Structure 1
Amino acid sequence: MKIFLLIAVFSFAFFSCGTGNTSINSSPIDGNTKKDTVRIANDSLEYEIIIVEPGFQSWLISQPPRGFYGQAKLEGKNRQFVAEYNSRVLQPNLYSRNLYGEQINYDPTIDYGYEVNYLLYNYFVYFQEKYNQKFVGGRN
């Protein structure tokens, strides 16, 4: 069985939003954080993607709907964006650790399916807009 774990926990969101020193729990008091957490898992491939970013869910609603882009296009963009993101993680003297906390394990030989690629692509677009970052290849 192929073992691969894709964890895209953008912990930098906690630090950049000033919540790095508090824990997130599932209590009813913490309803806003729960609404801004996107989790997708596939037990057969043993991967998981978690996006914890305040405002991402409401921003996502205003974007082109699922099916607007083909999976091949999303995969191509995600390969570019992940490579650029991971490159910046390895250059902490040039890029903030608050934004680029840890590498994303994205294997282009694995078919993660449309939903994962759609959300990952949109997260990168959101990330670039929110934090004024420019990745090679941009949005489209």
Structure 2
Amino acid sequence: MKTVNLFLGILGLSFMSCVAQTKTDAVDKGTTKIENGKVTLSNPDLEYEVIIMDNGFERWFSTNRKPKDHYSITFLENKNRRWVQEWNARAGRMNSVIEYRIDYNSQTHYGYEVNYMLYHYLLYFQQVNNLRLD
């Protein structure tokens, strides 16, 4: 299973990744598990796993997320593509709160679960750090 690991802390951010192969014919059977400050998304059919570790995100996500049917997959992919592009442009710059790049390939079909969670994390990160990625 290829893995996308997202480890987030108050002082630092680390995103280590291996992008899944493009599989547009795979069905998104992703599962989300939230417990003890750790959000885990996995889907063996799409060969990915995303782990977000940030105690603040779990609380924010449970109170601020929109229902899953609120967004289309196209909306999420477009937002994530733009936000990740800006995120990566800022990564590693002096005085930036963004330390690491996100390896998000817009040609890869990650499925709804990954895009939904990534969108919400990037939205959370912007609100907590009072910055805009677009």
TM-score (norm 1): 0.70
Indicate the residue corresponding to 1:89 in structure 2: 91
Shift of 1:44: 3.6
Provide structure 1 residue ranges, at least 5 long, that are not aligned to the other structure. Answer: 17-33
Contact 1:9/1:49 (<8 A) preserved = no
Q: State which of 105, 108, 119 in structure 2 corresponds to 1:107.
A: 105
Same amino acid, percent of matched pairs: 34
Name the structure 2 match of 1:37. 38
TM-score for both structures, normalised by structure 2: 0.73
Tell me which residue corresponds to 1:24.
Answer: none
| 110-119 vs 61-70, greater mean Cα deviation | 61-70
Cα RMSD of the aligned pairs, angstroms, is: 2.1
Aligned equivalent of 2:78 = 76
In the TM superposition, what is the alpha-carbon distance from 1:131 to its structure 2 partner? Answer: 1.0
Give structure 2 stretches of 5+ with no counterpart: 13-34
Q: Distance in 2 between matches of 1:68 and 1:44?
A: 24
1:29-88: per-residue Cα shift (whole Å, max 9, x none)? xxxxx4221111233443221111122122112321111010110000000111111111
Structure number with larger C-alpha Rg = 1
Equivalent position of 1:15 in the other structure? 11
